Structure 1
Amino acid sequence: MSDAPRMSDHTERFPGAGSLSWRYCGQWRLLTTIGRAIVLETAHPVVGAGVVEFSTYRRHPWRRIEQTLLSLQRLLYQDEADREREAARLRRLHGHIKGVDAQGQAFSGLDPQAQAWVHLTVFDAMVLMCELGGDPLDDERQAELYAEWLLVGRQSGVPASEMPATLEEYRVYFDETVRERLTAGHGVEQLLDALGRLPAPAQLSFVPDAVWSAACSVLGTGIRALVAATLPPSYRERLGERGKVPFGTEAVLSLACRTAAVAGDLLPTRWVYMPLAATYIAAKREAGRGLRRFGARDRSADPAAQLADAFVRILDQTGDGVLSWPDLAALARVFSDRLDLAAVDEEVMYAAFHAWWDELRATADANHDGVVDADEYRVLAEAAPGAAMAALMVRVATAVDRDGDGRIDQADYARLIGSDLASTRRIGWLHAVDTDGDGMVTVEEFAEALRESVLGRARSDTLDYVLGRA
């Protein structure tokens, strides 16, 4: 029997300031290995089936990484009540991911084995991050970090029975899962293809499309090679051509990881750690001794071009050229996440989006093929909006109005687009959406602005930022 430390050998208290989890999970350099975690997650048959059905990778490859890192920070660094709320949000989110795969097997985002695998791939990414960075964790510190990570998993709802109890048992589990359970299916292919043709992230939206496209062919290929270089050799072989690592890639990866590790020792906390992590770390230290506006309506723009742009950038979340329920489910998911909705409000949000999908199928799907293409949506948009669509926009606007006073103020708006965005930009948005000039944006005005944008009659910087970002 192994004498490796079990979770009970370490403190049962949730990891906080000073823990290894706090030290490593929130660092920006986790980006050097988080790609490995996401690929290995997707290689799990249950997760891969969900990716094939509900993925938005083709259009928004950055979003999965961004949401993963944000959720990790919420689960680890926030106070207990906020951690529990995030865990409940994840359970609700994954509860909407279900279906039947190509082999006729039912899958669910709440599958306990898949949940455990996804959670433990992050532990693997942290250990590899340190190893590649030149500051490897010895067995004792790995065991300590692993015990902490089990507690984080239990907090997020992963059954303890699905996670190996010791570090040694975990290592056997990891190797067996990679060797016997993971696949190189369509979900992984879709993810790796997305890494090879990356759209510009929101922070680089100022770069001209032609310039980014030219750089992307080199950048995307390089990122895919670097991610492949982090994967277990046995799994790289299973990927075939997609898993091949060009000569010199591993040297570049090593240099990048070591540079990130050195920078982490020299730079201030706010640069080394992701925003939420840095905020809580700084707050704990202090206890021990702060966008774009909603675009003004451009009535001079070509309506057809504006509608086509809205269809591609906002509505077609999966990037397959048509609208289907996974597209609208993705929109519901993003709004629910950014507004941090309670369970009952999230269910109402999903129901409102599903009602619009039923309306779209009934009124726009002219050829009855179960999806709505761009031409079918254009015909619909040129007519009067349906009741379900109008009700949906009011539902979204009402959710933004958190205090229920019937108006969208700067605090409400900050929840949607991020409180760190300049207040002057939020004031500019208020002037743009305040159509009657009374100095107040009502829920009705906000809903109308959303509706006009979704119908392609106005350009919304807000929707581009929240829904159109990669």
Structure 2
Amino acid sequence: MFGPGSQFHELFDDPRWALAIIRATVLEAAHPQIGAALIDSSTFVAHPWRRLRNTLLSLQRMFGADDHTRQREAARLNRLHARLNGADARNRSYDALDPAVRAWVVATLFESAVTMYRMSGQPLSQEATERLYAEFQAFLAALGDDSGHLPPSLHEFWSYYDRVVEEELENTEPVRIILYNLFDHLPAPPLLHGLPAVWAAGRAVAGPVIGAITVASLPEPFRRRAGLPELPGAQTLMQGAYLAVGLARLLPEGWITAEGVSDLLSLSPDSDDPRARTITALRDKMKRAAALIRLITPLPPEPEPAADGGMRRSAEEFFAEVLDQTGNGYLDWPDLAAMARELSARLDLDEPEESRLYNAFADWWRELQSALDTDGDGCISAQEYAAAVPSLAGPALIKVAEVLFDATDKDGDQTIDADEYRTLFHTAFLRDTAGTEVAYTRSTFVKDFLSFMTGRRRSTVYDPLLADA
């Protein structure tokens, strides 16, 4: 059911899977409970590339050959989902551990995979479809859910799927964001930082096309109920896109993998990764192209460097890029929980270290709320933050830094060595600490963390961790 030789293993590195994932995400977001959880707690708006990278890593762990890794990832996902519950704008409760909701997530992935093959002119055989369905049932069972929440047979699945589509799905706010706003404002991945003109030009073309393709691929009953217009020629465009992307499968094996593409998109050009040299040469050529584009569409000037060579943020920039992790315009607990979630994932924490980090961020949130929430509405606006920036550096934030240091210092020797440093920051240790001591001490770590979280200074290590998309 898992690992090399499985139906999913072949699917994972199929470039068409990217289009199928977008489609599945829209169908997930259309479920009222999932839509509410996304709008309250997800970072998919402000940090879409990070969310995509983490999703791919999670799927890779769950469908890999290592059973121990799968069990640890399932436990991590269950802890993560246990923290996602609340009520939507219509006061309907949601719970990310609801077995029926989790079954729908798996159902959308399976159905979108089957649809992907069909739209590419290569429909799966009955035997292959049943095998793939069994693998997704096993995936749900690996999470600890009763497999009965998905119909036991493939024949029964289609009736279940049609019923949910026709009776339960809604045109939720996350659906509208994904289809009509996300791609229009999608930030550049780290690979294309410093090339805003090139990225903006490509996004302006690709965004509407991806939106049109996705809408055209959705089930007709849902499009009709949700009032999603299908552009003339969209069906032909959609099938052409699946066929064109599918041609990448003809490349030699190993040339295109989901992990490789994800790593490349998140690769910083100044990294010590050998691929960075190629990226640097490519960026030089792209910058020349960007110069031509800027002649047609001038962009605002880039920020001026500070006197000490650093790059400062305004309070508004820091609030939007670092604090407002969910991108909803204000700071509340889900934003800090998202930071804890990202740090826990980077460090691959188990209990009780994970809960200790979450608790430290929860204490910081209570301290922030007490100091900055002047109107008592339960959240902090950008204006409230800007008016009291020094209040960020309280005892609770220092505690967050110390807990993070302890979680990173795996061997407990009170220093962070090169391997521990890379685990947290996913970057090169020797370059970033050039001219300093080889070991990263507790006091230096805490000082740097506080400087980043309070001083609004851009950082080559902390920006990719908490600010990059």
Q: Could you tell me the TM-score, scaled by structure 1's length?
A: 0.85
Residues 333-381 of structure 1: per-residue CA shift (max 9 Å, x gap): 1111121110211111111111000000111223333222233323433
Is the 1:298–1:459 contact (alpha carbons within 8 Å) kept by the matching residues of 2? no
Consecutive unaligned residues in structure 2, runs of 5 or more: 273-304
SS in 2 for 1:309: helix
**Which residue in the other structure is 1:8 paired with?**
none
**Which has the higher relative contact order, 1 or 2, with Cα contacts under 8 A spaced 6 or more apart?**
1
User: Is the 8 Å Cα contact of residues 307 and 378 (structure 1) preserved in structure 2?
Assistant: yes
2:261, 2:45 → 1: CA distance? 27
Matched, 1:235 2:222: yes
| Residue 302 (structure 2) aligns with | none
C-alpha separation in 2, matches of 1:301 and 1:307: 19
Percent of aligned pairs with the same amino acid: 35
> Could you say what secondary structure the match of 2:212 adopts?
helix
Kindly indicate whether the alpha-carbon contact (under 8 Å) linking 1:77 and 1:277 is maintained by their aligned counterparts in 2.
no
CA contact (8 A) 1:314 1:463 kept: no
In structure 2, what is the Cα distance between the partners aligned to 1:231 and 1:384? 45
Of 85-94 and 17-26, the range deviating more from structure 2? 17-26
Q: Which residue of 1 aligns with 2:166?
A: 179
Q: Runs in 1 of length 4+ with deviation above 6 angstroms?
A: 301-304
User: For residue 249 of structure 1, what is the aligned residue in structure 2?
Assistant: 234
Give yes or no for contact 1:50–1:97 (8 Å, CA) kept in 2.
Answer: yes
Distance 1:381 1:90, change over 3 A: same
Contact preservation (8 Å) 1:33, 1:125: yes
Instruction: Give the Å deviation of 1:170.
Output: 0.8
Given that 1:73 and 1:277 are in contact with CA atoms closer than 8 Å, whether structure 2 keeps it comes out as no
Q: How far did residue 53 of structure 1 move?
A: 1.6
Q: 1:362 to 1:160 in 2, by over 3 A?
A: same
Corresponding position of 1:137: 124
Rounded Cα–Cα distance in structure 1 between residues aligned with 2:444 and 2:306: 16
Report the secondary structure of 1:56's partner residue: coil
C-alpha deviation, 1:299, in angstroms = 6.0
Alpha carbons 1:323, 1:373 under 8 Å: kept? yes
Structure 1: state its 5+ residue gaps: 1-13, 279-290
Tell me, in whole angstroms, the C-alpha distance in 2 between the residues paired with 1:273 and 1:378.
40
Say yes or no: does 1:313 pair with 2:312: no
Q: Does 1:467 align with 2:439?
A: no
Q: In the alignment, what sits opposite 2:54?
A: 67
Cα offset for 1:304? 7.2
Question: 2-side partners of 1:244 and 1:378: how far apart?
Answer: 42
Q: Secondary structure at the match of 1:107?
A: strand
**Deviation, structure 1 residue 301:** 7.0
Question: Aligned residue for 2:287?
Answer: none
Over 3 Å counting, the alpha-carbon distance change for 1:355 and 1:61 in structure 2 is: same
Local SS of the residue matching 1:169: helix
Summarize deviations over 1:87-144 as a string: whole Å, max 9, x none: 0000001111001222322211100000001012111122122222332201111011
Indicate the residue corresponding to 2:386 in structure 1: 378
Distance, in Å, in 2 between the alignment partners of 1:372 and 1:274 is 37
Q: Distance in 2 between matches of 1:35 and 1:301?
A: 40
Q: What SS class does the counterpart of residue 343 from structure 1 fall into? A: coil
SS at structure 1 position matched to 2:328: coil
Could you say which residue in structure 1 is the equivalent of 2:98?
A: 111
Distance 1:302-1:151 versus aligned 2 partners, 3 A rule: closer
The 1:457–1:60 alpha-carbon spacing in structure 2 relative to 1, beyond 3 Å, is closer
From 143, 150, 155, the counterpart of 1:163: 150
Secondary structure of residue in 2 paired with 1:28: coil
Q: 1:231 to 1:141 in 2, by over 3 A?
A: same
Q: Cα–Cα, structure 1 residues 221 and 277, in superposed 2: closer, same or farther, change >3 Å? A: closer
Q: State whether residues 312 and 457 of structure 2, in contact with CA within 8 Å, keep that contact through their aligned partners in structure 1.
A: no
1:86 alignment partner in structure 2: 73
Tell me if structure 2 keeps the 8 A contact 1:310–1:456.
no
Note the C-alpha offset of 1:187. 3.0
Work out whether 1:427 is the aligned partner of 2:430: yes
Does the alignment pair 1:222 with 2:221? Answer: no
Q: Give 3-state SS (helix, strand or coil) of 1:461's partner.
A: coil
TM-score when scaled to structure 2?
0.85
> How many aligned residue pairs are there?
432
Of 44-53 and 60-69, deviating more is: 60-69
AA aligned to 1:351 is: N
